Chain A
């Protein structure tokens, strides 16, 4: 049986304490260790046993969950950009928009959910943009965020915070509250950028929208 050998930094990571603490434990003779050429080595099994005996929690390998892509431009790639959406008021707009989203099966329920959400607080965030989305009760079987962008044929009143009529809608869906929070945070940064507000109105194709969002997003990340 080959024993897995750990370096001091790996033990520090495993137990979630600084390396210097591991060194102190070694000097105080509290943790099992080996010596090889004046270097401290640790046998993984021994360390795990020791930690269990002393009830020191062992850090589990972090799930790949954190590696989910929250990029807004990716989510638009996963969704779609639709131009000339018909509708005379916010209700019609939302109904027609949901109609165009292929992966949603329970379209009526989603509409109810989004309307309910809008009634509590409008998602019209000003500058002619709204970001309607379902609340936490509407569970979706998706693995990553999906965004649909709609350009309205004519602007409609959305009860926005600046009272301006809305002409562009970002409707997005997230798999969980945690991801929702992260995604929403990113989106809020993008929607604040002046360059974005200026240029988004002039986009004419899906690719143009994605490229614009991507470049804005890269700028934000670079900051």
Chain B
């Protein structure tokens, strides 16, 4: 059996079977990618830690950032996107198209960023890698767009599942953050990939619970405190989000060269990491210490670590470092929990609360919910990585409240801020998504009545009265000159004398915006809305191609909506 036979066989399978098979394959590969990064990270970090004991370590974060820029920009030329937002954009707007090189570029770049001391998470690179692998596996099978979207999303799910040994969190993350939809059909490959990747990771790592804790008993005081905790979280989440937004803008204002940015950013990170080694890397050790109650520090030191972690992350990611905000969010969340607990015991010394580890756990979920606007991902991730439902009630309270409260200050999630600024946040099957995918050439109308510039209104009166249209393009030798609008000339047509003396050029409209065949309907409808016109001319290099009209769009739109409805 040849390879092409397998492809043909696959293409002709039932869609649901295709989704299961491809979910499995993507799960295996994305699980492996995640393992690869994890092992290399550990290996490299230990190597550096053990062999370089001198103050030379000071320059490592700088080197990490330079290497990251080197890989992303110089070698792979893959620094256009911003990681996860690129995956979201691709899945929601581009039919899941991702470049093959993205499957390795971010992985490599983040390896150096993180193990050399920069503050960033390894999840985003693995998600990009997983999604890109999935997308390209789909391409290999010449799968259609809907299948490719599913596989890209499955890759992201597999990545999260494998990295945290958390299959449910993988599924939920993919649906809530990446896809933004909850249909069973899209869940199917995501779920398969998620469990497959988890199994792969367990084969090598065993069934480890990353942040295991001893049983936590939540009492009523903790539950009440949780509600207030969410406000506390939102406050720090806002600082985090703003700082992530502000630093790169500030830097770009003064410095254009990517390597210079890396050197400056690296120096700042080096300085922070040198004095506070707690903030470096992805920070999982810090979380482990906090949860296992080994962490005792003053309120001010915790606050300092918290703020510097935020700064170090913003600087690392804003200066060309590769990595994500997932792990830093967890670290910042757990520190916020610690901070909140010490504040709580200071204000209510008599009241009994469970302890710092409870708020650290809940804080992780709350921070994730606030920054990514994804309460479910936060909740299930924490349940899975801490190995129990002990804290589920405060978890739900804090996650949902923080993800709602932050909306008052920050409309879009961290991943969507950039996309939203460009105007693309659309969810699958939303109005924008549907319109964005349809191009003008699908609905162009060509059965038109044409007039010439030198026609007088009398000579075209009959032509016009026999036509059902109101708009007549003025076209000569395929060249577009303007549109004649019946409404403009009604009164003139009624005067049988004057209409002989008026010719088209004088009364045609040239103020209609011109669209081209490749424009998407989202943009075209915006023009309709802004101008109030009902038809627009389609012109390609001065050549008249036809008209688009609002009525045709609406007609197609309804059919499109029906075609896009999933029936499982």
Contacts and interface: CB of A to CB of B under 8 A. Distances in A.
B501 A123 contact: yes
A185 B491 contact: yes
A181 interface: yes
A136 interface: yes
B502 A184 contact: yes
A126 B507 contact: no
Given A55-B431, A135-B506, A184-B507, A189 B491 contact: yes
A120 B503 contact: yes
B456 A192 contact: no
B288 interface: no
A57 B529 contact: yes
Contacts of B495: 188-189, 191-192
Interface in B418-435: 431-432
Interface string B514-531: 000000000000100110
A191 B498 contact: yes
Contact of A131 (B454, B500, B501, B508): B501
A177 B488 CA distance: 10
B509 interface: yes
B14 interface: no
Interface in A164-223: 177-178, 180-181, 184-186, 188-189, 191-192
A124 B510 CA distance: 26
A26 interface: no
B555 interface: no
B89 to A, nearest CB: 18
Given A177-B509, A177-B511, A181-B489, A121 B500 contact: yes
Given A57-B529, A57-B530, A177-B510, A136 B498 contact: no
B181 interface: no
A125 B501 contact: yes
A71 interface: no
B488 A181 contact: yes
A160 to B, nearest CB: 9
B492 A185 contact: yes
B50 interface: no
Contact of B497 (A120, A121, A126, A186): A126
B534 to A, nearest CB: 14
Contacts of B497: 125-127, 161-162, 191-192
B498 A188 contact: yes
B505 interface: yes
Given A135-B506, A136-B505, A125 B511 contact: no
A118 B92 CA distance: 58
Contacts, number: 70
B498 A192 contact: yes
B522 to A, nearest CB: 9
Interface in A131-149: 131, 135-136
Given A55-B432, A123-B501, A188-B498, A136 B492 contact: no
Contacts of B502: 121, 184
Q: SS class of chain B's interface: helix, strand, loop or mixed?
A: helix
A134 B155 CA distance: 66
A12 interface: no
Interface in A98-156: 117, 120-127, 131, 135-136
Given A57-B530, A188-B491, A120 B454 contact: yes
Contacts of B492: 184-185, 188
Nearest to A184: B492
A71 to B, nearest CB: 15
Interface in B483-499: 488-492, 494-495, 497-499
A184 B494 CA distance: 12
A123 B431 CA distance: 51
Given A125-B497, A188-B491, A135 B507 contact: no
Contacts of B498: 125, 131, 188, 191-192
Contacts of A188: 491-492, 494-495, 498-499
B431 A121 contact: no
B506 A136 contact: yes
B501 A121 contact: yes
A189 B496 CA distance: 11
Given A181-B488, A185-B491, A191-B495, A161 B501 contact: yes
B355 to A, nearest CB: 41
Contacts of A117: 506
Contacts of B509: 177-178
Contacts of B529: 57
A162 B497 CA distance: 9
A103 B455 CA distance: 31
Contacts of A124: 501
A189 B456 CA distance: 18
A182 B454 CA distance: 20
Contacts of B508: 177
Interface in A47-66: 53, 55, 57
Nearest to A54: B431
A169 to B, nearest CB: 13
Contacts of A120: 454, 503, 505
Contacts of B432: 55
Contacts of A184: 492, 502, 507
Nearest to B509: A177
A43 B505 CA distance: 47
Interface in B533-555: none
A156 B66 CA distance: 86
A83 to B, nearest CB: 24
Contacts of B510: 136, 177
Given A181-B488, A184-B492, A185-B491, A122 B505 contact: no
B511 A121 contact: no
A169 B16 CA distance: 79
Scoring A124, A162, A188 by chain B CB atoms within 10 A of each residue's CB, the highest score goes to A188
B176 to A, nearest CB: 19
Contacts of A123: 501
A131 B454 CA distance: 18
Contacts of B488: 181
Interface of B: 411, 431-432, 454, 456, 488-492, 494-495, 497-503, 505-511, 526, 529-530
Given A120-B505, A177-B507, A180-B506, 17 more contacts: A57-B526, A57-B530, A117-B506, A121-B503, A122-B501, A124-B501, A127-B497, A135-B505, A136-B505, A162-B497, A177-B510, A181-B507, A184-B492, A188-B492, A188-B494, A189-B491, A192-B497
Task: For the complex of A and B, list the 3 residue pairs with the smallest distance between their C-beta atoms, beginning with the closest.
Answer: A185-B491, A57-B529, A188-B495
18 contacts: A121-B454, A121-B501, A121-B503, A122-B501, A123-B501, A124-B501, A127-B497, A161-B497, A177-B509, A178-B511, A181-B489, A184-B502, A185-B491, A186-B491, A188-B495, A188-B498, A189-B491, A191-B495
